[in-house]
Amino acid sequence: MSNFSDFQLKEEILRAVEEMGFETPTPIQEKAIPHLLQESRDVIGLAQTGTGKTAAFGLPVIQRTVLENKYPQTLVLAPTRELAVQIAKDIQHYAKYVKSLSVTAVYGGANIEMQIKDLKKGTHIVVGTPGRVLDLSKRRKLDLSKIRFLVLDEADEMLNMGFKEELNDILAHTPDEKQVLLFSATMPNEVARIAKKYMRDAITLEVGKRNQGTANVEHTFYSVHARDKYKALKRIADMAPDIYGIVFCRTRRETREVAEKLIADHYNADALHGDLSQNQRDLVMHRFRVKNIQLLVATDVAARGLDVDNLTHVINYSLPDEEEAYIHRTGRTGRAGKKGKAVSIVHQKEIGKLRRIEKKLGQPIKKELVPGGKEICEKRLFNLIDTMERVEVNEAQIGEYLPVIFKKLEWLSKEDIIKRFVSIEFNRFLEYYQDAEDLNVTRGASREESRRAKEYTRFFINVGKKDGLRAASLISFINRKLEDLKFSIGKIDILRNFSFFEVESTVTEEVLQHIDGAMFDKVRLSVEVANEKKGADGSRKRKKKKDKDSFEPADYHKRKLKKKAKKETSKERKKKRALKEKKGKDKY
């Protein structure tokens, strides 16, 4: 099929599809639509998230609806509220010019009375979550007895979320003579069992290799120490100024912590997890959809069924426990022919899990190096310049202010204005990434071993927390004082009244010359080399533990006899105490 007009769809449906910008059907649409328009056999559709499954079943269902019959003829089940709402909206758009067709969404977390009221008005297509559909059915407010089409969308996700019992109850209350359409990204055993129990003579329409990721997604990973995962996440975000993505974490606690850190560091981020109320969740999702939030930090459960277009990145802050979950996560980017990037931040213990994911994915995951400070600063600088070049100047709005601005800046040269403009936006990155450490883990060597490969000198300095000293301000101060020198800064320990810091030994004399005696926030600094106490041979002194073998034999036997005497004395005391207690009892 070359376009939608090749399908035998009604003119009203084609008109709506064209308005939505659909031209060429996706592979799953090309296979499913002709079958569903002409045949009544059940269908198992295996395709990744974002491949156009809603249109694959939605367009034929709209065409085959009997508009005169104002009762539910199609039931679409989805795992989450967000996906149910999205499917209902999509079907409404497809049926824009189909007069009198009614679509109703029912889901938990919303006023059930309003949904009952909508159902009473009469509806043709019901889209809902399993829990709410079953609730309405038990209340006899949703009639399932005349359902002609039953669609299970994201069936594997519904089972993963624990909807097995609800699905069985709903399926058992629908008529035998119906067409079941099961769509799933994967085909685990539970889905296969439902298909076998409730579907008859089903035809399987499979697009691409099962469990394989979309070709439009670039899969990469960074290898870092576990303690550096958040730093790596920030660098990924800073290297992509226009990032719009989801950061997946393993637990609710981790989700909250990562989101709070990002917000504190001035990133447009928020969290989505199970502890949020429905209203809070809706607010976060609205802000994310309109791109007020660039990074949504979420757990797998909270993000299930989440359908958002144009994501540039899916970031695995923690790898999922199940390999199939990785495919679900990364299938949210690289949609509709656009490119996407799936990034995993991996520590050494997760390499084995990553290899299993590669096997399931059917393609290698490329290792990349975490970008360094210089690389990030260059990227942000040139992005700033590109933005300035592309910005649209509206002289009608700013024209009245320009003479005053020109007058105020006339004492500056063109070069000075450019320098100051760049510095306003850019100083934060320069300060943060100045002498940024390498976060990459080289196989076989820990960062501590890499650090020890260089010789460092440890210094004492007479300022600490009470003087407002922080690691960042100390690094900045040292770099300013030794600005013409190339060196590395090692470990820093900030204590209350004083501190210690390490600097590469090649600049020991320069540190003493330029920093000792300098002023730091009205305090004159005293800096000296903090040497460890050593023995005469140059080795570190250690307290030796006394060992019984170090005593002379005579001393050892004396100690042993003394210990025995103590034991005997203790026995005698116990014996006397027992006799005393006995005498006391005899008196009474």
Q: Which tens digit of pLDDT belongs to each residue from 158-173?
A: 877 778 888 889 988 8
> Are 66 and 39 within 8 A, CB to CB?
no
Shared domain check, 41 and 166: yes
Shared domain check, 82 and 171: yes
Residue 333 is predicted with a pLDDT of: 86
Q: Which single residue is written with the structure tokens 């040139």?
A: 382
Q: Which residue has the higher pLDDT, 203 or 564?
A: 203
The model's pLDDT over 402-441, given as tens digits with 9 standing for 90+, comes to 899 889 998 989 888 888 887 876 777 777 777 778 888 8
Does residue 109 sit within a domain?
yes
Task: Tell me the average pLDDT across 176-193.
Answer: 84
Q: Supply the CATH number for residue 458's domain.
A: 3.30.70.330
Band of residue 257 on the pLDDT scale cut at 50, 70, 90: very high
> Which sign does the torsion angle of CA 37, 39, 42, 48 carry?
negative
Residue partners of 273: CB distance under 8 A and separation at least 6: 252, 255, 256, 298, 299, 302
Q: Supply the CATH number for residue 45's domain.
A: 3.40.50.300
Distance separating alpha carbons of residues 165 and 175, to the nearest angstrom: 18
Shared domain check, 166 and 38: yes
R_g (Cα) of the chain, nearest Å:
35
Give bridge partners of residue 52 from the DSSP assignment.
Answer: none
Does residue 429 sit within a domain?
no
| Residue 557, pLDDT above cutoff 50 | no
Shared domain check, 269 and 183: no
Q: Which of 316, 349, 372 is the last residue of a domain?
A: 372
Does residue 577 sit within a domain?
yes
Shared domain check, 497 and 583: no
Shared domain check, 235 and 171: no
* Alpha helix segments (H runs only) across 121-274: 130-138, 155-160, 164-172, 189-198, 229-239, 252-264
For residue 273, which of 286, 257, 293 has the smallest C-alpha distance? Answer: 257
Residue 260 is predicted with a pLDDT of: 94
| Residue 546, pLDDT above cutoff 70 | no
Band of residue 536 on the pLDDT scale cut at 50, 70, 90: very low
| Residue 512, pLDDT above cutoff 50 | yes
Distance separating alpha carbons of residues 518 and 507, to the nearest angstrom: 17
The model's pLDDT over 268-292, given as tens digits with 9 standing for 90+, comes to 999 998 788 878 888 898 899 889 9
Shared domain check, 248 and 154: no
Q: Which residue has the higher pLDDT, 264 or 576?
A: 264
Band of residue 296 on the pLDDT scale cut at 50, 70, 90: very high
Residue 444 is predicted with a pLDDT of: 44
Query: Mean pLDDT of all residues in the chain?
Result: 82
Shared domain check, 267 and 174: no
Q: Which of 340, 372, 404 is the last residue of a domain?
A: 372
3-state secondary structure of 181: strand
Shared domain check, 254 and 190: no
Residue 198 is predicted with a pLDDT of: 83
| Residue 545, pLDDT above cutoff 70 | no
Residue 368 is predicted with a pLDDT of: 92
Which domain does 576 fall in, by range?
554-587
Band of residue 180 on the pLDDT scale cut at 50, 70, 90: very high
Take residue 191 and report the two structure tokens written for it.
């889905």
> Are 293 and 320 within 8 A, CB to CB?
no
The model's pLDDT over 443-469, given as tens digits with 9 standing for 90+, comes to 544 455 445 446 789 999 999 999 889
| Residue 1, pLDDT above cutoff 60 | no
Distance separating alpha carbons of residues 88 and 106, to the nearest angstrom: 10
Q: Which single residue is written with the structure tokens 């639509």?
A: 33
Does residue 384 sit within a domain?
no
Band of residue 565 on the pLDDT scale cut at 50, 70, 90: low
Distance separating alpha carbons of residues 496 and 522, to the nearest angstrom: 17
Band of residue 526 on the pLDDT scale cut at 50, 70, 90: very high
| Residue 209, pLDDT above cutoff 60 | no
Shared domain check, 50 and 145: yes
Residue 20 is predicted with a pLDDT of: 84
Distance separating alpha carbons of residues 512 and 500, to the nearest angstrom: 14
For residue 307, which of 148, 479, 81 has the smallest C-alpha distance? Answer: 81
| Residue 305, pLDDT above cutoff 70 | no
User: Does an H or E element contain 41, and which?
Assistant: none
Does residue 294 sit within a domain?
yes
Give bridge partners of residue 315 from the DSSP assignment.
Answer: 247, 343
Considering the chain, what percentage of its residues have pLDDT values greater than 90? 35
Q: Which of 350, 372, 394 is the last residue of a domain?
A: 372
Residue 552 is predicted with a pLDDT of: 41
Residue 547 is predicted with a pLDDT of: 38
Shared domain check, 172 and 87: yes
For residue 305, which of 54, 42, 26 has the smallest C-alpha distance? Answer: 54
Q: What is the dihedral of CA 214, 217, 221, 222, to 10 degrees?
A: -170
Count of structural domains within the chain: 4
Residue 438 is predicted with a pLDDT of: 85
| Residue 539, pLDDT above cutoff 70 | no
- What does DSSP assign to residue 201? S
| Residue 507, pLDDT above cutoff 60 | yes
Does residue 467 sit within a domain?
yes
Shared domain check, 115 and 18: yes
> Are 191 and 182 within 8 A, CB to CB?
yes
Strands 43-46 and 125-128: unpaired
Residue 568 is predicted with a pLDDT of: 56
Band of residue 378 on the pLDDT scale cut at 50, 70, 90: confident
Task: Tell me the average pLDDT across 124-138.
Answer: 94
Largest CA distance in the chain: 114
Residue 580 is predicted with a pLDDT of: 63
Does residue 263 sit within a domain?
yes
Does residue 57 sit within a domain?
yes
> Are 368 and 315 within 8 A, CB to CB?
no
Band of residue 317 on the pLDDT scale cut at 50, 70, 90: very high
Q: Pick the most confident of 208-217, 230-239, 299-308, 380-389.
A: 230-239
